[in-house]
Amino acid sequence: MSDLFSIKLTAWIRRNTGVLLIVFFILYALSVFINMGIYQLMAEEPRRGTVSFEMYFYDSFVHPTLMGVAYYNKPPLFNWLLIGLFKVLHSYSEWVVRLPSLLSMIAIGILLYRFTVELMGRKVAVYATLIMLTFVDVYFYATYNGGEIDLFYALLVICQLFPLINYYMGKTNAYNALVLSYGFMALGCLTKGLPSLLFQGATLFLLALYQRSPKILFSMAHAAGLATAAVVIGCYLYAFSRQDHIGILLATQIDEAADKSAAGARQERLWSETLQYPLLLIKGMLPWSLSLLLLVKMPFSHLKNKGLGFIVALIGINIPVYWFTGIPKLRYIYPLMPFFAIVFAWIIYRFETGKRRYEKPVLAGVIVIMITGVAGQLALTGYMQQWWGLVPGLALGVITLLVWRNRLALRNFKAIVVLLAVVLVTGRFFFSMVIVPYADVNAAVDHRHIMEQIDSITGGKGCWYYAAETTRELRPLPGGYEGDTIPVAPAVPYQLPYYYNKQFARPLVHSSSATAGDFYLAKSVALPDDIAVAIEQRFEHVQGDDDYVLFRVADNKTAGSIGDTTGRDALPVENAGEMPY
């Protein structure tokens, strides 16, 4: 009787795969969008929001600033996108800052499916899409910290590389491939700088190797592609040159790229991190990276595919830049993860269509993962008293029971892939419904409350951020730029300027001097020692063990002039625009 039900269940899964996928994508959208605006911005998120806010506030869309100081680290395309959302949605809230990355993730899934279905067929395309969307690091970190730039940048890079692969596969002509590829490369350069040039150069070199001729690099199509990129990037550089020296921007971009490569790493850390990097990759792409175990005793001839070979080579030629570095971070290789997803999907597909040596261990592993997920969700629900967690926990429990009683149904590998994706999406839904509200309520530092206190103490007047001047040395460049010492914004928890902007609807501006009549926020160890100050409020452990204080000058003595921090003309706060909330 049980075997008969299992056979019927298998047939039902095959007939209703489309329905199951629709359910998956609905749950996926809910899992990443629910509660996305209730928890504070973290990591790099508040810096992206702050820079975008200041560009809009100062009406300076070409030359970004951070805390009133010129900001050269990242070009402004991602900030333009955020500003557009601020205006359209009339909000500067956390969910708006996170929205571009979440939409980018969905777009990556759609593009990956369309690309893979032409390359390897519908089933592999479905597998690759499910795998990409549920890589543990992407799904549980990148979509959680959605205000960071990396998923949007990954979208631009795959739009840059897909045309080159399609050209290699004979699915498009050279003009279309290279103009489109260079166009997205230019947009990538306006988002994150030099890495897009490395992706383009390495992939074109690989293309020439596979064609056994460098002819493509000297073709009119390549010239058209270069011209497209030159126009896009040139227009921005021209606009920038009317406000500042291009050499400063280019030298900063080169320094930023060097700092994130082996050139900027300590040698002792370089070797240890290089050896650990494969484990970091496997961990970040769980559970799908475990599909590599299926390669044991599987003949490589069984994996043969023209497109797959080029994709593996593409990963191999691009990843060393990020592998052999002293500061490896998975988010730097998000642009390559869609290609890993294709590789894993093809391995699973070929295992499914070949001889199955490991069916029982695979099924046992799926059931163990599900039982662990149920137990973990129910235990955390009770501990945190977030009773919404019972919904995904009990749902996963019912699915686990059905799987346990009807193991024969899982001899269809399509069911295993869909089931694992459902397990992950259920876990992420639980994470959003239970852990996110709990973590926000129990956050170590409530930056929103800090700004409410500052608002109350200053009577709505606000404050400056007090810190010593910080500078950066830029090296000379060929072509006439002789190097410079430029001011940079102080190193702070960027939640402070973001939530200040949100509370006061104007930027928190850095000042290296203080004067009577104004309030200042500063680290407690960085108070001025040449004038008397009155401490209005102390904020403990805002950044690790660092305490911050809100102070004002206690008498009429003045040290310097407020806002004289950049060595250039101060930005005119009184001429700023109006920020919608």
**pLDDT tens per residue across span 126-157:** 999 999 999 988 998 899 888 899 999 999 99
pLDDT above 90: residue 200 = yes
Strands 69-70 and 65-66: antiparallel
Question: For residues 513 and 547, is the Cβ–Cβ distance under 8 A?
Answer: no
What per-residue confidence (pLDDT) applies to 13? 62
Distances (CA, A) of 496 to 138, 284, 326, 533, 551: 26, 30, 29, 21, 16
pLDDT above 70: residue 3 = no
What per-residue confidence (pLDDT) applies to 16? 64
CA 433 to CA 390: how far, in whole Å? 10
294-351 pLDDT per residue, tens: 776 666 666 677 888 899 999 999 988 888 765 678 888 999 999 999 999 998 888 7
Q: Which of 210, 220, 236, 211 is nearest to 179 (CA)?
A: 220
What per-residue confidence (pLDDT) applies to 252? 87
Contacts of range 115-123, beta carbons closer than 8 Å, 24 or more positions apart: 115/158, 115/162, 115/165, 115/166, 116/342, 116/345, 118/166, 118/171, 119/165, 119/169, 119/307, 119/342, 120/305, 120/307, 120/308, 120/342, 120/345, 120/346, 120/349, 123/349, 123/414
CA 232 to CA 165: how far, in whole Å? 23
Quote the tokens at residue 118. 């032409």
What per-residue confidence (pLDDT) applies to 475? 83
Quote the tokens at residue 534. 């009155």
Average the pLDDT over 48-77 and give the result: 93
What per-residue confidence (pLDDT) applies to 560? 41
For the chain, the domains span 1-33+354-443, 43-284+298-345, 447-553
Average the pLDDT over 190-213 and give the result: 92
248-281 pLDDT per residue, tens: 888 888 888 776 655 554 555 666 677 778 888 8
Residue 464's H or E segment, with its range, is: strand 464-466
3-state helix, strand, coil in the chain (%, to 5): 65, 10, 25
Residue 160 phi/psi, 5-degree rounding, is -80, -40
Strands 69-70 and 464-466: unpaired
Question: For residues 317 and 203, is the Cβ–Cβ distance under 8 A?
Answer: yes
Average the pLDDT over 524-539 and give the result: 79
463-494 pLDDT per residue, tens: 999 998 888 888 888 777 777 888 899 989 99
